[in-house]
Amino acid sequence: MNEKQLRWYNIALMAFVAVWGLGNVVNNFAQQGLTVVVSWILIMALYFVPYALSVGQLGSTFKESAGGVSSWIKETSTTRLAYYAAWTYWVVHIPYLAQKPQGILVALSWLFKGNGDFVNTVDAKLVSLICLAIFLVFLWIASKGLTTLKMIGNMAGTAMFVMSLLFILLAVSAPALTGSEIATPNMGKLSTYIPKFDFSYLTTVSMLVFAVGGCEKISPYVNNTKNPSKEFPKGMLILAGMVAVCALLGSVAMGMIFDANNIPEDLMVNGAYEAFQRLGNFYNVGPLFVILYAVANSLAQISALAFSIDAPLKILLSDADPNYIPSKLSKVNKKGTPVNGYIFTGILVTILIVLPSLGIGNMNELFKWLTNLNSVVMPMRYMWVFLAFIWINKKHTEFESDYKFIKNPKVGYIVGWWLFLFTALACIFGMVPKVDYATHQTEYIFQLALNIATPIVLIALGMIMPAIARREQAKK
C-alpha cells in the first residue's frame, strides 16, 4: 500500500469535516444577522487562509512529530512551553465538556417533544443538575473504553456534515421550488450585509474565530500526502474555499428562513431545529428533517462528549514530563485509564456546570453564555500554533520544509504575530457579555466575572502543576 496516498481533495474533505458544522452558521447569524456575510469574507481572507497555510508549513516542517502543536512548540522553544501548550489544549475542553450535556438535552427535547420549549420552561438550576448527571454517566463510560462510541461518532459526524449541506440546498432553493416567502426584507440591497464596526461588533469576532479554528488537527497527514509541498497547501486553499462558500450560502439561507432584523432570542439554542422545521413545512414532509437532524446531532454530541473527555487528557498525559505533571495525575489503572486525571476533569467540569446556574436565570441564557465562553477559551489553543509559526520564521535557518507558505521569513514572522494578536484580541473582546447591561445589570456583571475568571483559573492551574511536580521530585 502506497503511504503517499492522500491527494489534495482528500485533505480538503478531511479538514472540512473536522472544522465545519451547521452550528457555526447558526451561532454567528444569531449574533450578527445578515451582516455576518461580510464578516465571513473578512475573516476568511485576513485570518483563515493564512491560518490554514501556516498549519501546512508547520506540518511539513515537523513531519515526524506525533504530538501535534505541543511537539511543534517543543521543537521550536522549550519543554516547559511545550507542557503549557499541551495543558492549554486539554484545559480549553473543560467549558466544551460542560456544554455538551446541554446540547444533548436540546436534541432529545426536539426528538421526543418536537419542540425546544424545554429550554424556556425549566429552571436553570434543574437543567444544570440534569446536565451534571449526563456528564458523570459519560465520564464513567469514557473510563471503560470508547471503541463503539468512536464508530458512532464517525457515522454521526458524517450525517451532520450531510445535514449541513442539505440545509443549504433546501433553504436556498425553497422560494423557487415551494413558493415560500423570503423572511428578511431587502435581501437584494448591499447595505443589508454591511456590519457596523463598533465595540458591540468587536465582541462577536471571537465566535467567528471559534468557527474557523481547528484545521491543525489534520497536520499529521502531511506525511501521507502525495507531493506534500504542492498538494497539502492546495488542499488547505480548497478547504478555505469550501468553508467560505458554506458560511456565505448558509448565512444567506438563514436570512431567507428567519428575519435578520428580528432574530429570535433562542436562535442560538434552537435555530438549527427551527430552520429544519420550517423547511419541512415548505416541502410538506412534516417533522422528517427535524427528526433526522435531532438523531444525528444527539449521537454526534454523545460521541463528542465521551471522546473529548478521553482524547485531550491522553494527549496531555501520554508524554507526561515528571518535572511538570505530578505522577498522581498521570497514574493509570490496569486498563490504562488515567483515573485521577478523570476525577480532576470531573471536578472542573462539575464546577463549570453548577456555578453559572446560580447567577444565570434560564437555560436559554445559560446555553448562550457557555457557547460564548467556548468562543473565548477554545481559540487560546490556536495561539500556540501561531507561536510555533513565529518561531520557525525567526529561526528559519534551523528548519527545513518541503512547503513554505511565505518564502520571506521576515514577512512570515509578521504574519505569525498578526494571527497571534488577532486571536488574543478576539478572545479579550469576546469576554464582554451579550446581555443588555441596562436591563440585566446583575447578570451582566456575573457573566463578565465568569468570562474573565474562567480562562485565568484554567491557565493558573497549569502553572500550579509544575510546582507540585517539583515538590514531588524533591521528596523522591
Domain of 348, CATH number, reads 1.20.1740.10
CA distances, 237 to each of 22, 49, 333, 335, 414 (Å): 21, 7, 44, 42, 21
What 3-state DSSP class applies to 438? Answer: coil
Residue 2 maps to a domain: no
- Contact partners, residue 32, CB within 8 Å, separation at least 6: 39, 195, 201, 204
Which DSSP string corresponds to 51-101? HHHHHHHHHHHTTT--STHHHHHHHHS-HHHHHHHHHHHHHTHHHHHHHHH
Residue 210 maps to a domain: yes
Q: What is the pLDDT of residue 1?
A: 37
pLDDT in tens, 86-99: 999 999 999 999 99
Buried b (16+ CB within 10 A) or exposed e, 346-371: bebbbebbebbbebbebbbbbbbbbb
Q: How far apart are CA 278 and CA 258, in angstroms?
A: 10
Residue 390 maps to a domain: yes
Residue 47 maps to a domain: yes
Q: How far apart are CA 175 and CA 120, in angstroms?
A: 31
What's the number of domains the chain is made of?
1
Q: What is the pLDDT of residue 3?
A: 53
- One-letter amino acid identity for 414? I
Q: How far apart are CA 18 and CA 304, in angstroms?
A: 12
**Residue 258 — φ and ψ, nearest 5°?**
-120, 145
- Per the CB < 8 A criterion, the answer to whether 200 and 273 are in contact is no
Q: Which domain holds residue 182?
A: 8-474
Phi-psi region of 38 (alpha: psi -120 to 50; beta: other; left: phi over 0): alpha
pLDDT per residue, tens digit, the chain (476 aa), is 345 688 888 888 888 877 888 999 999 999 999 999 999 999 999 999 999 889 888 888 887 776 678 889 999 999 999 999 999 999 999 999 999 999 999 999 999 988 888 777 788 889 899 999 999 998 988 887 666 666 777 788 788 888 999 999 999 999 999 999 999 998 989 999 999 999 999 999 999 999 999 888 777 677 678 877 778 888 888 988 999 999 999 999 999 999 999 999 999 999 999 999 999 999 999 999 999 999 999 988 888 888 888 878 887 887 678 889 998 888 888 777 888 999 999 999 999 999 998 888 788 889 999 999 999 999 999 999 999 999 999 999 999 887 788 999 999 999 999 999 999 999 999 999 998 888 889 999 999 999 999 999 999 999 999 999 888 888 87
Hey, what's the cell of 376?
A: 473565548
Q: How far apart are CA 345 and CA 135, in angstroms?
A: 11
- Per the CB < 8 A criterion, the answer to whether 451 and 429 are in contact is no
pLDDT in tens, 228-274: 777 888 888 898 899 999 999 999 999 999 999 999 999 999 999 99
pLDDT in tens, 384-438: 999 999 999 999 999 988 778 899 999 999 999 999 999 999 999 999 999 888 8
What 3-state DSSP class applies to 432? Answer: coil
